Structure 1
Amino acid sequence: MSLSISTQERAKIFIPGITQLLSKNPTRFSEGIWPSYFSKAKGAYVWDLDGEKYLDMSISGIGACILGYADEDVDAAVCDAIHKGVASSLNCAEEVDLAEELCTLHPWAEQVRFTRSGGEAMAVAVRLARAKTDKSVVLFCGYHGWHDWYLSANIANESALDNHLIAGLSPQGAPRELCGTAFPFAYNDTAELERLAEEHKDNLAAIVTEPIRNFEPTEAFLSSLRSTADKYDVPLIVDEISAGLRYNTGGAHLTFPGFEPDIAVFSKGLGNGYAIAAVIGKERVMRAAEYSFISSTNWTERIGPVAALATLKKHRELNAGDRLVALGTAVQEGWARLARKYGLDIHVGGMKPMGHFSFEEEEAVKNAYYIQLMLEQGFLAGESYYAMYAHTFEQVEQYLDATDVAFSAIANTKDIMSKLVGKPTVSGFGRIA
């Protein structure tokens, strides 16, 4: 048994759920062959515990390492901060610099609060909205993390979140008293949004959306988000955790002319793998942080803000967003072309720099076989591709050549199950409707 696989077996004993992040759980790939643990990561390459080197064309640190693994400029800034000390009884000035930078990048925003992860940043954003309005109900579309406010949508209806990226999320442990405080609406469905807002107008606290995921927003939808929030005098929150920095140095919402939220939330790519998240917003909403208790020790450490400042500086200088979109476009076009070549029925979707494909038939088995075939060719690859600036177009061609081999094998193998070394893939992310 390889060290990578034996470590998975140890994890099953000592770590409930195997991993800290669902998206990195080996069952989401092909348990038994997916290496799961890394010893080194640099550029676009990952080395597992057994020393095997792979070109990572999969989830790229689940979208966190937007420049690439162990970026020299970001790491140099972090190492300098470490040598000077990252925690003390005083605050780090870099958090002020970062707050100013984020407000410069987003001229509508006036104040900023920081956390160290996306889920908790979304919890802060919702808390601010509820504190501002003194009301409880949140209307949302898209995926927004693991916290009680979001999972409570599944208390009364266990399938309420099924069309919002991850199906079957259990609300077990979320207080049942939160039932009726969060309601989903479909992306681009202005009628449903407006109906829910009118239905819950007496207790409406916030409207939450992702700026983009599987679809581009319509002008009517963007207009309805803003006008509905204004009509009922509630904050409009845009969750940029996935989309932020993928299209530009800032939020994807900046690509929609005239569209302004009241709060935007960033994490993932903001620190190129270092833990940092930001809640930016208009002063009239952000001031709620002064009378709602929102405080945590590790939100004051220095590494996160330093990493974010270095990431934003390099991202802007490189105009990284254009490259990420171009890389993702090439990959999605390649998937579609190769599927046609071999008569495979697949769905291709997602935002261009963070795309996915899925087999329409026998998805779990075919995906596991695809992963296995790609590992054999030296690639970490699954049904998702998250672009990093470190990826080259030559690497994309190498990846698509390997996918050509894999798709050919899938199309020409009658009994795929008999070929699997690992287990079939547990259902992955859904298509947000």
Structure 2
Amino acid sequence: MNTQNGVNLWNKAKNLIPGGTQLLSKRPDQFLPGQWPSYYKKAKGIEVWDLDGNRFVDMSIMGVGTCILGYADDDVNGAVKKAVDLGSMSTLNCAEEVELAELLLELNPWAEMVRYAKTGGEAMAMAVRIARAYTGKEKVAFCGYHGWQDWYLASNLADDSNLDGHLLPGLQPAGVPRGLKGTSLPFNYNHINELESIIEKNDIGVIVMEPIRNHEPEDDFLNRVRMIADEIGAVLIFDEITAGWRLTVGGAHSLYNVQPDIAVYGKAMSNGFPMAAIVGKHEVMNAAQDTFISSTYWTDRVGPAASLVTIRKMQENKVPVHLSCIGNLINEGWGKLAKEHNLKIDIEGILPLTHFGFDYNNNQELHTLFTQEMLKRGYLASKAVYVSYCHDEECVGKYMENVDEVFGIVRNAIDQNNVSDLLHGPVSSTGFKRLN
């Protein structure tokens, strides 16, 4: 398969754009260095066409989890085109932002106010700023990955291994003011003792975490975090950017009957168009008036228009139920084929965000071989599958037929101890390493 146009453009981009692209998760070396198609010409449903005219089925991250309905959904695109034709920006505000706020509050009956942003990272920064303004306290206890901003990366000013279990091992906080040292303190999911230890030693005003990511909460973990926040007067922020719309329409936290003070949404809420939302209790959210949080393009019409259609379509079609059913099929397929080929794999994650890992010392080589061989067969495939509404039983069946072949190649390579000989390029980089 020829992907040279994409590879060449990527090599050019590395000299023009720091890091080559805007998002670490989309760097080709995360998947298949020297071979990954890198750029797309068209995307529709679960199919992607690259610059060399190849057509791929996306059984990977689906736009890093943004396109929950599938690429270029007709209904969402129709609403966006109408918004553009009517004018995406004006001196006046668009009425859609009020309509969307009402819908978000209907889905989060514990909340009373909403603010908007365009990406999850900036929305998290906004939420932390609001929470700090409300409590008057600087220190944040957090669990998991929550973006690139100073408030988060400041954790590595105290110890450059602080974020090893949350983001990137050894990530350098270059450019983050040294004065922020000690303001962000990490704890691991399901380790309530770590949070308790932080609370004992620090005056914490904000607690930030995902309600669920790779593992179910244990020992009433979420409720215990909620109780700690209440006891110390801290604002509890749930980052729903990734899991928010996949287990239920709205927040995953609602499944566990635990209410935060602020919930942050992004990614899938607008099916590929820039949009994020901060939903929270009135007394907390109103603290936004005591600080300066404002940006021109937070007022555009496209994001709210896309979100309204996306959310309503998820409701009408019970999209989360479909995602879990397909995710379960994928899990069962991986498990069955691994057993047949005598391969050791670990399967983790919530069903709509399922992923597997080879359980061998050279697992990164094996994953690179898997991605390489699946690409030859017309699949964008990696360790994870972000399930979309366009994934169905038929596409999973065809995917598994190819996984069967590739697992056979992997098994043979392990037996022959020649994995590296089968690779056509370098081993993929480890990228985001999440341990929560």
- Residue 71 of structure 2 aligns with which residue? 69
| C-alpha displacement of 1:242 | 0.6
1:2-401 maps to which residues of 2 (within 5 A)? 2-201=4-203, 204-257=204-257, 259-361=258-360, 362-401=362-401
Q: Is the 8 A contact 1:129 1:206 kept in 2?
A: yes
Q: Percent identity?
A: 48
Q: Is the 8 A contact 1:31 1:425 kept in 2?
A: yes
Query: How big is each residue's C-alpha offset from its partner over 1:75-95, in whole Å with a ceiling of 9 and x where there is no partner?
Result: 000000000000011111101
| C-alpha displacement of 1:36 | 1.1
Query: How big is each residue's C-alpha offset from its partner over 1:224-281, in whole Å with a ceiling of 9 and x where there is no partner?
Result: 1111110011110000001011011101111112x11000000000100000000000
- Residue 427 of structure 1 aligns with which residue? 430
Give 3-state SS (helix, strand or coil) of 2:247's partner: coil
Measured in 1, the distance between the counterparts of 2:168 and 2:301 equals: 33
* Residue type at the aligned position of 1:409: I
For structure 2, the residue ranges without an aligned partner over 5 or more in a row are: none
Query: How big is each residue's C-alpha offset from its partner over 1:382-412, in whole Å with a ceiling of 9 and x where there is no partner?
Result: 1111000011111011111111111110110
Q: How much is the aligned-residue C-alpha RMSD, in angstroms?
A: 1.1
- Number of residues paired by the alignment? 430
User: Which piece of structure 1 moves more, 207-216 or 413-422?
Assistant: 413-422
Measured in 2, the distance between the counterparts of 1:48 and 1:166 equals: 29
Q: Cα distance 1:108–1:375, how it changes in 2: closer, same or farther (>3 A)?
A: same
Q: Is the 8 A contact 1:328 1:355 kept in 2?
A: yes
Give 3-state SS (helix, strand or coil) of 2:43's partner: strand
* Residue type at the aligned position of 2:404: D
Q: Is the 8 A contact 2:338 2:407 kept in 1?
A: yes
Measured in 1, the distance between the counterparts of 2:355 and 2:296 equals: 37
Measured in 1, the distance between the counterparts of 2:286 and 2:177 equals: 28
Measured in 2, the distance between the counterparts of 1:421 and 1:429 equals: 23
| C-alpha displacement of 1:289 | 0.8
Measured in 2, the distance between the counterparts of 1:89 and 1:401 equals: 55
Q: Is the 8 A contact 1:328 1:353 kept in 2?
A: yes
Q: Is the 8 A contact 2:150 2:176 kept in 1?
A: yes
Q: Cα distance 1:429–1:349, how it changes in 2: closer, same or farther (>3 A)?
A: farther
* Residue type at the aligned position of 2:211: P
Q: Is the 8 A contact 2:144 2:434 kept in 1?
A: no
Give 3-state SS (helix, strand or coil) of 1:280's partner: strand
Measured in 2, the distance between the counterparts of 1:324 and 1:170 equals: 36
Measured in 1, the distance between the counterparts of 2:381 and 2:168 equals: 20
Measured in 2, the distance between the counterparts of 1:351 and 1:108 equals: 25
Give 3-state SS (helix, strand or coil) of 2:131's partner: helix
| C-alpha displacement of 1:430 | 2.7
Measured in 2, the distance between the counterparts of 1:62 and 1:431 equals: 15
Q: Is the 8 A contact 1:143 1:166 kept in 2?
A: no
Give 3-state SS (helix, strand or coil) of 1:351's partner: coil
* Residue type at the aligned position of 1:214: N
Measured in 1, the distance between the counterparts of 2:328 and 2:167 equals: 21
* Residue type at the aligned position of 1:419: L
| C-alpha displacement of 1:219 | 4.9
User: Which piece of structure 1 moves more, 343-352 or 144-153?
Assistant: 343-352
Measured in 2, the distance between the counterparts of 1:262 and 1:143 equals: 19
User: Which piece of structure 1 moves more, 262-271 or 334-343?
Assistant: 334-343
Measured in 2, the distance between the counterparts of 1:285 and 1:419 equals: 56
* Residue type at the aligned position of 2:429: V
Query: How big is each residue's C-alpha offset from its partner over 1:169-208, in whole Å with a ceiling of 9 and x where there is no partner?
Result: 221111111110001111011121122112213xx12001
Measured in 2, the distance between the counterparts of 1:112 and 1:378 equals: 42
Give 3-state SS (helix, strand or coil) of 1:61's partner: helix
| C-alpha displacement of 1:357 | 1.2
Give 3-state SS (helix, strand or coil) of 1:80's partner: helix
Q: Cα distance 1:245–1:283, how it changes in 2: closer, same or farther (>3 A)?
A: same
Query: How big is each residue's C-alpha offset from its partner over 1:91-147, in whole Å with a ceiling of 9 and x where there is no partner?
Result: 111011111100001100110000000000000000001100111110011110101
User: Which piece of structure 1 moves more, 134-143 or 333-342?
Assistant: 333-342
| C-alpha displacement of 1:165 | 4.5
| C-alpha displacement of 1:431 | 4.1
Query: How big is each residue's C-alpha offset from its partner over 1:314-360, in whole Å with a ceiling of 9 and x where there is no partner?
Result: 01000000011111111122222222222222221111111211222
TM-score by length of 2: 0.97
Give 3-state SS (helix, strand or coil) of 1:54's partner: strand
Measured in 2, the distance between the counterparts of 1:289 and 1:336 equals: 48
TM-score by length of 1: 0.97
